[in-house]
Every structure is written in C-alpha cells, then in structure tokens.
Amino acid sequence: MSKSGIEKFSAERARLNEIVMDYAGRDIKRFFNLDTQAYREGALPAKTKELLGLVASLVLRCDDCVRYHILQCYQAGVTSEELEEALSIALVVGGSITIPHLRRAFQAWDDLQAAER
C-alpha cells in the first residue's frame, strides 16, 4: 500500500465512520467512545496500546484494523524493531494463517517509511 493508499484508506475510513455516526444510537456511540478511550495514555503508554491493538488485529486477521493500527503505531513513534517484535508475537499466537496479513502489515509500514525519505 503506497502513501496515497494509506491516505485513501484513512479518508474512506473517516467517510464510513461519518455514515455510521449518522445512524448510531447510544450503544454504538458508547462503543466507539470506549474504543477511543482504551487507546489513550494510561498505566500503559498509548504506543504500547497501539502495538497491542495491532497484534490483536493481525491474530483476528482484520486487514482494515491492521492498516489502522500500523498507521497509529507509525504516528506514535513505534520503531521498525518494535513493530517487528510485536508482529512476531502475533505470528506465534496466530500461526501461519496470519502470514498474508503479516505481509500486508509490513508493506504498509514500508510504504510509510518510504514516504518519509
């Protein structure tokens, strides 16, 4: 996924979230708020929480979630070494079925790194 691919993903996610919120009642809005609150600084740094979210997303094989957390990790200052260690945990937990998602995660990370150069 290129930098423009990540930008497209982010724009599409925001657009779709607006539609969800147009229909959302109390329960959906509360869930979205809970999700936002869970990733804030606390006993664990936000960076660590994003890595945890990334690992869970890869194990659950949710490519949209993986892309989202890759971007959040990048913005939180995660290093390539930290990312690799977290994704190795996801691979151990999720097994070989997660390899296609692992490939796409590293591709997204590589695209973000390349856009920086």
Q: Under DSSP, is residue 62 helix (H, G, I), strand (E, B) or coil?
A: coil
Report the pLDDT value the prediction gives residue 116, as an integer from 0 to 100.
Answer: 75
Per-residue pLDDT band at 3 (split at 50, 70, 90): low
Report the pLDDT value the prediction gives residue 115, as an integer from 0 to 100.
Answer: 82
pLDDT in tens, 21-68: 999 999 999 999 999 999 999 999 999 999 999 999 999 999 999 999
| The CA-based dihedral angle spanning residues 39, 27, 56, 80, taken in that order and rounded to the nearest 10 degrees | -30
Is 0.85 surpassed by the pTM of this model? yes
> Residue 19: which domain range?
3-116
Residues 15, 18, 23, 27, CA torsion sign: positive
pLDDT in tens, 88-111: 999 999 999 999 999 999 999 999
Q: How many structural domains are present in the chain?
A: 1
How far apart CA 112 and CA 82 sit, in angstroms, is 15
Q: The domain that contains 21 carries what CATH number?
A: 1.20.1290.10
Could you tell me the end-to-end alpha-carbon distance of the chain, in angstroms, rounded to an integer? Answer: 16
